Protein backbone atom coordinates (compact mmCIF):
# COMPACT_ATOMS: atom_id res chain seq x y z
CA UNK A 1 0.00 0.00 0.00
CA UNK A 2 1.53 3.32 -1.03
CA UNK A 3 0.37 6.91 -1.14
CA UNK A 4 0.42 9.56 -3.84
CA UNK A 5 3.21 11.29 -1.88
CA UNK A 6 5.49 8.28 -2.52
CA UNK A 7 4.81 8.14 -6.27
CA UNK A 8 7.69 9.20 -8.53
CA UNK A 9 7.71 12.00 -11.10
CA UNK A 10 6.59 10.76 -14.51
CA UNK A 11 4.56 7.92 -13.00
CA UNK A 12 0.84 7.41 -13.57
CA UNK A 13 -0.94 5.83 -10.62
CA UNK A 14 -4.50 4.76 -9.98
CA UNK A 15 -6.34 5.98 -6.87
CA UNK A 16 -7.31 3.07 -4.65
CA UNK A 17 -8.73 4.82 -1.61
CA UNK A 18 -9.10 8.30 -0.12
CA UNK A 19 -8.18 8.84 3.49
CA UNK A 20 -9.03 11.83 5.64
CA UNK A 21 -12.51 12.94 6.48
CA UNK A 22 -14.85 15.89 6.31
CA UNK A 23 -13.51 19.03 4.68
CA UNK A 24 -10.13 17.50 3.77
CA UNK A 25 -11.67 14.56 1.92
CA UNK A 26 -14.22 16.83 0.25
CA UNK A 27 -11.46 19.19 -0.95
CA UNK A 28 -9.58 16.27 -2.51
CA UNK A 29 -12.76 14.98 -4.18
CA UNK A 30 -13.61 18.49 -5.43
CA UNK A 31 -10.33 18.39 -7.36
CA UNK A 32 -11.68 15.38 -9.26
CA UNK A 33 -9.53 12.90 -7.35
CA UNK A 34 -11.81 9.94 -6.67
CA UNK A 35 -11.42 6.19 -6.42
CA UNK A 36 -10.35 4.60 -9.71
CA UNK A 37 -9.11 7.79 -11.36
CA UNK A 38 -5.60 7.91 -12.84
CA UNK A 39 -3.19 10.56 -11.59
CA UNK A 40 -0.03 11.54 -13.47
CA UNK A 41 2.79 13.00 -11.35
CA UNK A 42 4.22 15.97 -13.28
CA UNK A 43 6.53 17.63 -10.81
CA UNK A 44 7.48 17.59 -7.15
CA UNK A 45 8.95 20.68 -5.52
CA UNK A 46 12.46 20.23 -4.02
CA UNK A 47 11.11 19.85 -0.48
CA UNK A 48 8.21 17.69 -1.63
CA UNK A 49 5.54 20.37 -1.34
CA UNK A 50 3.59 20.97 -3.54
CA UNK A 51 3.17 17.95 -5.76
CA UNK A 52 1.96 18.88 -9.24
CA UNK A 53 -0.30 16.34 -10.90
CA UNK A 54 -2.58 15.94 -13.91
CA UNK A 55 -6.03 14.52 -13.16
CA UNK A 56 -8.76 14.15 -15.82
CA UNK A 57 -6.86 16.55 -18.07
CA UNK A 58 -6.51 19.24 -15.38
CA UNK A 59 -3.19 20.33 -13.91
CA UNK A 60 -3.36 20.60 -10.14
CA UNK A 61 -1.07 21.27 -7.20
CA UNK A 62 -1.52 19.10 -4.13
CA UNK A 63 -0.20 19.73 -0.67
CA UNK A 64 2.05 17.03 0.74
CA UNK A 65 -0.43 16.38 3.59
CA UNK A 66 -3.26 15.81 1.09
CA UNK A 67 -1.12 13.50 -1.05
CA UNK A 68 -0.41 11.36 2.02
CA UNK A 69 -4.13 10.64 2.33
CA UNK A 70 -4.51 9.27 -1.20
CA UNK A 71 -3.75 5.55 -1.47
CA UNK A 72 -2.63 4.49 -4.94
CA UNK A 73 -1.63 1.35 -6.81
Which sequence spans correspond to the domains of the chain?
2-72
Query: Closest Cα to residue 66, out of 30, 12, 13, 14?
Result: 30
pLDDT at 1: 65
Q: pTM for the complete prediction?
A: 0.91
1-46 pLDDT tens trace: 699 999 999 999 999 999 988 998 999 999 999 999 999 999 999 9
pLDDT at 45: 93
| Interatomic CA distance for residues 8 and 30, integer angstroms | 23
pLDDT at 48: 82
What topology does CATH give the domain 2-72?
SH3 type barrels. (2.30.30)
What's the whole-number mean pLDDT along residues 53-67? Answer: 95
Amino acid sequence: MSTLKEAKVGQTVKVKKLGGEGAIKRRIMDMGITKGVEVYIRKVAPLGDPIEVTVRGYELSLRKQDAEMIEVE
